[in-house]
C-alpha cells in the first residue's frame, strides 16, 4: 500500500518505545516510515536485501522460509501475543539481525489481515541504538536469543553463527555503557533537585570571594582525570576515610559521596584545607554541601558523555565489521577487518593475550570485506576456544610478493595429526554436539580459495597452531 509519514503518537503506545522523551519520539517519527499492509501482502521476501528494521504497530506477520521446496512457518509476530514481557516484546519487531549484518532477509514476512508497521533503514536503526539506550536494552537481548535460535534451527549455519557472535559481542559491549547511562539518569533527577536547594542557600549567604573559591575548586576537579587517585584498593579506601573524616569534622553530614568523588581524582584533605582557608567557619558546611551536589551532577554528566562515546565506538566497530557503508566488492585493508573482528570478539578473548604484528606497507586486496571478516571470525573464534581463557593469540600480517599473508596463531593444545587433515571438510567438527555446525573452516576455505583466489593452510603442534591465509593483491 506504500509508506506515509510516521507520527510520534503512533509510537508512544508501543512497548518497545515505552518511557522515551518527547525529543526521542520526535526523532523516531522523523526517521521512520509508516506502511499500511493489506491481507496477504508480503512485507519482505527471503533472499531480498535486508533494508529495514520493522516495528509491528498493529496486526500480525507470518514469518516463513522455504525448506526442501516447501514453505515452513518459523514464527507468527502479533501485537496481541501473550506470554512474559520479553516474549511479547519479541513479537513486535523483526529484521534486526539481517539489517545489522547487512545481509539478505532469511525468511519471508506476510501480513495476516490488515496491519501497520514502522520501517527504519540501516543507518536509522544503528542511530536508534545510540540515541535511545532504553530501546537497546530491550532489542539486544532479543537479538542475541534469536541468533541462537536460528543457529540451532539450521539454515545458513555459518552466516548465522557470525550473526550470533556479533549479537553476543554487541550485547556484552553495550551492557556497561547502557547501565552507566541508566544509573546516571536515575541519579540526575535527585541530584539536580538537591543542587537547586543548596545553590540557593549558598548564593544567598556566600561572599564573592567564597563563591570564587568554590568555582575554582570545581574547575580544578574537572581538570583532573578519573582514576588519578591511589592505584590500589587499600590506598583508595584510606584516602576516602581521610576525606570523609575531614568533611564530617567540618559539618558535612553526608560526606561519603563527596569523599568518593574527590578520592577518584586524587584529591586529599590538604586540598580541602586550601579550599576553605579564608572562609567564614559557619559558612564552610554550606560551601561543602554546594560543592558536593555540584560535583555529583557533573559526575553524572561525565558518566553519560563517556557512555555515549563508548556506544558510538561500538556502533563504529559494528559498521566496520559488517561493512554497511561499502560496496559488496572493494579493495580491502585486511588489518581493518582483523581489528574490527577482534573488537567484536573481545568477550571471547577475555584472559587471552593478543599480540599484533602488522607490517607496512601492505597491498590492498580486491574482494568481499564481509566474507573476509567471516574468515577472520572463524579463525579467531576457534583459537579462543582452543585457548580456553588463557594463553597467547598472535596475529601477523605482511606482504609476500604481490600477496598479503595473514597468520593467526595460538598457544593452545594443538590439533591432533589425524584431525588436522580433515579440518576443511564440510560438517567436520571436534566440538560437542550443539556447540558448532562443522561449517566454519569449510566455508572459510571456500571464501579464500574460490571467492578470492587465495589459499589457506594450517600446521599444528602442542603449543603452536598456525593458520596461514594468502590473498592476492590488486593486479596479481
Rounded Cα–Cα distance for residues 140 and 137 (Å): 6
CB contact set of 144 (below 8 Å; sequence gap of 6+):
164, 167, 168, 171
Q: Which helix (H) or strand (E) holds 42?
A: strand 42-44
Say if 167 falls within a structural domain.
Answer: no
Say if 377 falls within a structural domain.
Answer: yes
3-state DSSP helix/strand/coil percent for the chain, to nearest 5?
55, 20, 25
- The verdict on 205 and 265 lying in the same domain is yes
Rounded Cα–Cα distance for residues 146 and 294 (Å): 44
Say if 396 falls within a structural domain.
Answer: yes
Question: Rounded to whole angstroms, what are the CA distances from 354 to 117, 143, 363, 464?
Answer: 45, 28, 24, 14
Q: Is residue 269 within 8 Å of 241, Cβ to Cβ? A: no
Task: Give the domain CATH number at 145.
Answer: 2.60.120.10
* Per-residue confidence in pLDDT tens, the chain, 476 aa: 567 889 898 899 898 998 899 999 999 999 999 999 999 999 999 889 999 999 999 999 998 887 656 677 888 888 876 555 666 788 899 988 888 877 788 889 999 999 999 999 999 998 998 888 888 888 888 877 776 565 445 434 445 455 555 555 566 566 666 666 666 676 766 777 777 778 877 878 888 898 888 888 888 888 888 777 787 778 888 988 988 899 888 888 888 888 888 888 888 889 888 888 888 888 888 888 888 888 888 887 777 777 766 666 666 656 555 554 454 567 888 998 898 888 878 878 889 999 999 998 888 889 888 888 888 988 998 899 899 889 999 999 999 888 999 999 999 999 888 888 888 875 455 554 334 434 468 778 888 998 889 999 999 999 999 999 999 987 65
Number of H helices, E strands in the chain: 16, 16
Rounded Cα–Cα distance for residues 441 and 422 (Å): 10
Say if 389 falls within a structural domain.
Answer: yes
- The verdict on 239 and 368 lying in the same domain is no
Task: Give the domain CATH number at 455.
Answer: 3.30.565.10
- The verdict on 191 and 270 lying in the same domain is yes
**Of 177, 138, 180, 166, residue with least CA distance to 347:** 166
Say if 316 falls within a structural domain.
Answer: no
- Its domain, for residue 69, covers 3-155
State pTM to two decimals: 0.42
Amino acid at each position: 500500500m506504500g509508506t506515509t509519514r510516521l507520527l510520534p503518537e503512533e509510537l508512544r503506545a508501543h512497548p518497545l518505545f515505552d518511557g522515551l522523551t518527547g525529543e526521542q519520539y520526535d526523532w523516531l517519527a522523523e526517521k521512520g516510515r509508516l506502511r499500511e499492509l493489506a491481507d496477504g501482502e508480503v512485507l519482505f521476501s527471503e533472499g531480498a536485501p535486508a533494508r529495514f528494521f520493522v516495528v509491528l504497530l498493529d496486526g500480525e506477520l507470518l514469518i516463513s522460509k522455504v525448506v526442501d521446496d516447501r514453505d515452513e512457518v518459523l514464527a507468527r509476530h502479533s501485537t496481541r501475543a501473550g506470554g512474559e514481557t520479553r516474549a511479547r516484546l519479541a513479537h513486535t519487531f523483526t529484521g534486526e539481525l539481517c539489517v545489522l549484518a547487512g545481509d539478505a532477509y532469511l525468511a519471508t514476512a506476510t501480513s495476516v489481515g490488515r496491519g501497520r508497521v514502522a520501517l527504519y533503514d540501516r543507518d536509522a536503526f544503528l542511530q536508534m541504538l545510540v540515541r535511545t539506550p532504553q530501546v537497546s536494552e530491550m532489542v539486544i537481548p532479543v537479538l542475541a536469543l534469536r541468533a541462537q535460535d536460528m543457529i540451532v534451527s539450521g539454515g545458513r549455519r555459518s552466516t548465522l553463527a557470525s550473526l550470533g557472535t556479533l549479537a553476543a559481542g554487541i550485547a556484552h559491549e553495550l551492557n556497561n555503557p547502557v547501565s552507566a547511562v541508566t544509573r546516571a539518569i536515575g541519579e540526575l533527577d535527585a541530584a539536580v533537585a538537591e543542587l537547586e536547594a543548596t545553590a540557593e542557600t549558598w548564593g544567598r549567604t556566600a561572599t564573592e570571594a567564597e563563591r570564587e573559591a568554590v568555582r575554582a575548586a570545581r574547575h580544578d576537579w574537572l581538570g583532573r582525570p578519573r582514576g588519578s587517585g591511589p592505584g590500589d584498593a587499600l590506598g583508595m579506601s584510606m584516602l576516602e576515610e581521610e576525606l570523609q573524616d575531614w568533611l564530617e569534622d567540618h559539618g558535612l553530614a553526608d560526606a561519603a559521596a563527596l569523599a568518593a568523588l574527590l578520592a577518584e581524582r586524587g584529591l586529599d584533605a590538604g586540598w580541602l584545607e586550601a579550599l576553605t582557608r579564608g572562609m567564614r567557619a559557619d559558612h564552610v558546611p554550606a560551601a561543602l554541601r554546594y560543592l558536593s551536589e555540584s560535583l555529583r551532577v557533573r559526575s553524572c554528566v561525565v558518566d553519560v558523555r563517556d557512555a555515549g562515546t563508548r556506544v558510538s565506538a561500538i556502533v563504529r566497530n559494528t559498521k566496520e565489521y559488517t561493512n554497511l557503508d561499502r560496496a559488496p566488492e572493494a579493495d580491502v585493508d585486511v588489518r581493518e577487518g582483523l581489528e574490527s573482528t577482534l573488537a567484536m570478539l573481545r568477550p571471547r578473548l577475555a584472559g587471552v593475550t593478543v599480540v599484533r604484528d602488522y607490517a607496512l606497507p601492505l597491498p590492498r586486496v580486491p574482494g568481499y570485506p564481509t566474507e573476509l571478516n567471516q574468515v577472520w571470525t572463524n579463525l579467531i573464534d576457534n583459537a579462543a576456544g582452543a585457548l580456553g581463557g588463557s594463553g597467547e593469540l598472535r596475529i601477523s600480517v605482511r606482504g609476500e610478493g604481490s600477496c598479503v599473508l595473514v597468520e593467526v596463531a595460538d598457544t593452545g593444545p594443538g590439533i591432533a595429526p589425524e584431525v588436522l587433515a580433515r579440518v576443511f571438510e564440510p560438517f567436520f567438527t571436534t566440538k560437542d554436539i550443539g556447540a558448532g555446525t562443522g561449517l566454519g573452516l569449510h566455508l572459510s576455505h571456500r571464501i579464500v580459495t574460490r571467492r578470492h583466489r587465495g589459499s589457506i593452510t594450517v600446521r599444528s603442534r602442542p603449543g603452536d597452531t598456525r593458520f596461514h591465509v594468502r590473498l592476492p593483491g590488486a593486479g596479481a
